[in-house]
Structure 1
Amino acid sequence: MKKGEKPMADIRQYENQWRVATFEVDAQSEMKLSTMLRICQETSEKHLAAMGVGYEKLKADGMVFLITKSESTIFRMPAHGEELRIITRPQGVHGAEFYRDYEFFSGGEKIGYVIQCSVAANTETHRILHPRKFAVYGLDPSPNGTTDHVLSRIKSEELPFLGERVIRYSDLDYNGHLNNAIYGDIFYDFVPGGMLGKKLNRVQINFVNESLLGETIQIFGQEKEGKVLLYGENSKGRAFEASAELVDRKKS
């Protein structure tokens, strides 16, 4: 911390409000997975800003957070017009990874839970920074202790080719690469057999390396008895990997 600076607030949790818009639901009139991931991104950014370390501050200091893994447990996807309450809390550090979770509520009903891990990286070199770098801000990265819910790699054998996805300008975010939330749409678009008539109970997506403008992701995957494995490869190798549990809406 620089001389004369005051320690910034250590906020253990942050609450965000969200009303599900028409363009945030799918053909089954339920909120899309990509919307859930966008809400998480927005909520965590608001929390960091409230602590005085928002995106602009970190970028000016040569640092950026990159989400590396995300697991969503969905009890019920909300419909258009539902008013949501999202509570996020830091969940400690494992190695270089910062963990954070999100609880989704509609009224008093808990409808979803997301846990994510991120790394801090240098904006110029892209080198991963150790969490102790955060000490300069006077913040404890583990104000609520450390979670035992650690997300791991998703292992899979070679899977059938499903198709390709070209990265376009509208896919990019402020870091200049494919926004992580869009992987939720890619998952929906490439699930073998499609999402119509299906309900998503759980999904983990690992963001292995960034995809840039003009790159093509080759996507491979399969579905067996409601268990889905999916992965994508770009010019640098594995781009993302996903595992999920789907159920037939008629049986759920």
Structure 2
Amino acid sequence: MRDFKQVLMENGYSRQEELVFWDCDRNKRVRVAALLSKAAAFAGYDYDARGLTHETLYAMREAFLLSRLALRIHDCPRAGEVLTITTWENGARGAHVQRVYEMEDQEGRLRVSIKSDWILIDPVTRKILRPSAFTAKPIGTCPKEIDCPEPHKIALPREGTEDLGTRIVRWSDLDGNGHLYSGNYGDIVWDALPEDLRDQVPREFQINYSKEATLGEELRLVGVREGETYRMEGLGPEAPCFTALCVF
């Protein structure tokens, strides 16, 4: 039996996790959806360990929503591997607070790196707040450079896109906030990719979360392929819900 370690640092949190079959595709390689899920989970682990639980922050009317994320796969992890996943806050950038991550194997080799941008909101009114309004703790800065692209706005051209069908938001898609879980977007993207790309491991992946999708909403998926990249957008009834970029 393995005794997995977790460490709370002054401005970071680290924990070991084993990749199970659920985390991986049919080739036993980690799914982008699993990496997105772990990014969301580790942000929560960090704050929970500091006593800043979801309930505590809600009572303070301060909460973070994931706005956009970029990841780089240096060497794709596989089922059964144990990763040490470390996350740090990385300061404020305009309206965003950045959180970064590294995933290393047991030999200390970097396998995945992530940068994510979050917005601070009042969870009652849903009003966006400036990072300077966050009172729960000082926002820290990562002590090292993270080998990952900066998250940026993704846009599709007005013409030349292909129709990829629709995706209904199901009960099993919902998280504790009642919205489509941020990790599930990775599977939505991969299910809609052209068949020859689904079995490939992306070098990089980016996603913009634009509008929360709720139970029963129908997302209309459109995409465009350009060389080694594929961009995709999920259009809800009123506005785009997400835009993603895959680099192979």
Q: Same fold (TM over 0.5)?
A: yes
| AA at the equivalent of 1:207 | Y
Deviation at 1:222, TM superposition (A): 2.2
Match of 2:244 in 1: 242
Residues in 1 aligned to 2:151 and 2:82: alpha-carbon distance in whole angstroms? 29
Match of 1:25 in 2: 24
Q: Deviations over 1:143-191 (max 9, x none)?
A: 4489896422112213211110000111011111101111110111111
1:219 counterpart (197, 218, 221): 221
| AA at the equivalent of 2:193 | V
Deviation at 1:196, TM superposition (A): 4.2
Match of 2:34 in 1: 35
Residues in 2 aligned to 1:186 and 1:211: alpha-carbon distance in whole angstroms? 13
Residues in 2 aligned to 1:112 and 1:10: alpha-carbon distance in whole angstroms? 20
Residues in 1 aligned to 2:102 and 2:114: alpha-carbon distance in whole angstroms? 7
Deviation at 1:226, TM superposition (A): 1.8
User: Does residue 88 in structure 1 map to residue 90 in structure 2?
Assistant: no
| AA at the equivalent of 2:129 | L
Comparing 16-25 and 51-60, the one that deviates more: 51-60
User: Does residue 49 in structure 1 map to residue 51 in structure 2?
Assistant: no
What does 1:130-169 align with in structure 2 at a 5 Å threshold? 130-134=130-134, 136-137=135-136, 139-144=137-142, 150-158=150-158, 159-169=161-171
Residues in 2 aligned to 1:32 and 1:104: alpha-carbon distance in whole angstroms? 14
Comparing 152-161 and 233-242, the one that deviates more: 152-161
| Structure-2 change in CA distance of 1:20 and 1:121 (3 Å) | same
Residues in 2 aligned to 1:10 and 1:155: alpha-carbon distance in whole angstroms? 37
Contact 2:23/2:34 (8 A) holds in 1: yes
Count matched residues: 236
Contact 2:156/2:224 (8 A) holds in 1: no
Q: Which runs of 5+ in 1 are unaligned?
A: 1-8, 247-252
Contact 1:91/1:146 (8 A) holds in 2: no
| AA at the equivalent of 1:208 | S
| AA at the equivalent of 1:210 | E
| AA at the equivalent of 1:200 | P
| Structure-2 change in CA distance of 1:146 and 1:234 (3 Å) | farther
Residues in 1 aligned to 2:229 and 2:9: alpha-carbon distance in whole angstroms? 40
Match of 2:3 in 1: none
Q: Deviations over 1:99-138 (max 9, x none)?
A: 010001012110010100111211121111121222x32x
SS at match of 1:98: strand
Deviation at 1:240, TM superposition (A): 0.6
Residues in 1 aligned to 2:62 and 2:174: alpha-carbon distance in whole angstroms? 19
Contact 2:191/2:198 (8 A) holds in 1: no
Contact 1:92/1:145 (8 A) holds in 2: no
TM-score, with length taken from structure 2? 0.89
SS at match of 1:46: helix
Deviation at 1:48, TM superposition (A): 0.9
Match of 1:180 in 2: 182
